[in-house]
Structure 1
Amino acid sequence: LYLETGNAKAKALLDKWVPWAIANTTVGTNWSIPSDMKWTGQPANWNPSSPQPNTNLHVEVTVKGQDVGVAGAYARTLIAYAAKSGNTAAKNTAKGLLDALSASADSKGVSTPEKRGDYKRFDDVYNAADGQGLYVPNGWTGKMPNGDVIAPGKSFLDIRSFYKNDPDWPKVQAYLDGGPEPVFNYHRFWAQADIAMAYADYGTYFPQG
């Protein structure tokens, strides 16, 4: 919106958000962007006829990470802001992120090693006490396309047994058996698309680099 129209409200928001985001971003070999955040305080009571700043609401970055898809989308925001405002820090940070993403490319796309603790839930059956596990209502049954039976008492893995055919399945099984979290490189389509669009945006608005 700001890039296309110069909207003043969008500019005011970005003028405040972009420096904060850049201050919490690292580029280079060990690049990182905000991942988890902690909020404290309370927002001001909403008054649409006279909005007030949330001076008693604060945010702190508690964890930084290397989510390549989020980094691509974030770079696009910085690119759009820099293209309209001429902000050099935004442009340089966007380029730093794009360079870092390029360095993380392999034959399949852009990715970084990832731990996924939620694999631990693959073999959980439904537990009414905590609501965890695969919930199938009593009396309901069916079959997955591969023939796996869907019924109460089944786990996610029970109805998707084809996961066991993956050549990397032993790493997940070892984790379910009490071993370390498996580490994989994921190439998610949405992430690759966001990164590609970020490259295109940078080339469009800053063709000289």
Structure 2
Amino acid sequence: MSPDATPTDYSAARIHETVQEVLTAGVLPAIVQAGHPVLRQTAAPFSGQLSDAELGQLIDLMRSVMHKAPGVGLAAPQLGIPLQLAVLEDQFEVDPAVAAVRGREPLPFFIMLNPSFQPSGGTTVAFYEGCLSVNGLQAAVCRPESVRLDFTALDGTRQQREFSGWQARIVQHETDHLHGILYLDRAELRSLSSNAEYSARWAQPDISLARKELGFLPDA
């Protein structure tokens, strides 16, 4: 949890009302952008605020928003809903050389409620990340290469899963969202790049060239 994040003040009734507004709007909702307070609060743990049917509808909607963006993960606060729910899926075609360096393997659609993670092993690795709630920017973020995720599954059971490589990065990024943390909080700010500059200069499989030219992580 971010030391600066305060718990959401939304009651269960207000969360339910907000979800109903999103579900009945008839259009895909916009993704909330940095500066909105919901992204800086600890979301409420899921504890039955929604019926099974409502939760299923919200998950389907979040998956549609994620695909349209497009992205590989979406947390409920990114739709203005302070609830500890996120959806993840990475089925993009990636250059094999890039995938090998980044440890990027396809991630089948995955839903997590009330997640938390712990590093699994002591290895960390830095790569560029972007965020659907921080339009137009990317920055290098150093994260544990492997994590153990604790989460609640849709059937209500508490479960654990191990993730490594790019999948672990997605899991950490989305779990952070539920605790009021943006990737910029963990980023090497000297690496901050517009999408255009990233594409033109720093889209190599690793960050070694960007690290040298922009002067971050000098001891890496």
Q: Which has the higher strand share?
A: 2
Q: What is the TM-score of this pair, normalised by structure 1?
A: 0.25
**Which TM-score applies when normalising by structure 2?**
0.24
Rg (Cα) greater in structure: 1
